[in-house]
Amino acid sequence: MSYNPFSLEGKTILVTGASSGIGQAIAIECSKMKARVVITGRNSERLQQTFDQLEGSGHVQIVADLNNEDDIEKLVAESPVLDGLVNNAGRGLSKPVNFIKMQDLQDVYQTNVFGVIMLTKMLLKSKKISKDGSIVFTSSLSSYMTAAGLSVYASSKAAVCAYMRTCAIELGPKNIRCNAVLPGMVETKLINDGTYTDANKEADLSLYPLKRYGSPIDIAHGVIFLLSDASSWITGLEMVIDGGRKLK
């Protein structure tokens, strides 16, 4: 067998928000790297579509809503012991600061922050994350380089990074590594649904030195690196994957 420190062979990885977009790509690419993948999401039909694209065998799908504590408990109970956890589930919001409502905060923070914290805590308390494990959080470039309308979303993703750094310190003695990926704009349905005009897109793309948005697979490959033994001495990292957008 050829040497490959980036392989996930023999590892079991849980990916949340795996029914579409970046989460779906992470799950599929992890399976291609020989991981046993546990996928979760709220929509059973879309989760099945991801499951059908996984390579290899032994994979598991668990329908769960991370906004619901009972569902989180069910997910933890049904999960096998994990070598990797990808806290990817999230939701967006674009709204000017003068129009933010308490419900907006509750909705975004419940998914992007509270659900992430509670799932991680319950898995750790249940000893479902093995020593030498890796936890990867999906944050966003907007956590420190934001734009008008993104105050709620950007602040929730900044909270994810702060939580990740604390986890890295607390879990380091167990050799459990904690890192985050911070994607720039990624080609998903969100920017191709008609609300993001061609003019908007052209102006924004001019700020990317590589002259394209990322694909979900671009983010998945960064996540795989952080899950693999190739990153065994990396913890507390905020890995920006943005086609050079931060340079401008």
Q: Which of the 8 DSSP states describes residue 178? A: E
Phi, psi of 30 (to 5 degrees): -60, -40
- Answer whether 53's CB lies under 8 Å from 100's CB: no
Rounded to whole angstroms, how far apart are CA atoms 15 and 43?
14
Tokens of 85: 């956890």
196 in active site: no
Full strand arrangement of the beta sheet holding 177-183: 60-63, 36-41, 12-16, 82-87, 129-138, 177-183, 238-241
What tokens were used for 227?
């899950």
With vertex at residue 69, the alpha carbon angle to CA 64 and CA 71, rounded to the nearest 5 degrees, is: 25
- From the candidates 3, 109, 144, 153, which is the catalytic residue? 153
Residue 175's φ and ψ, nearest 5 degrees, are 60, 30
Other beta carbons within 10 Å of 10: 9
Sequence-separated (6 or more) residues with CB below 8 Å from residue 177: 133, 134, 135, 168, 171, 226, 231, 232, 234, 235
Residue 118 to residues 40, 71, 178, Cα–Cα distance (Å): 15, 11, 15
Active site residues per annotation: 153
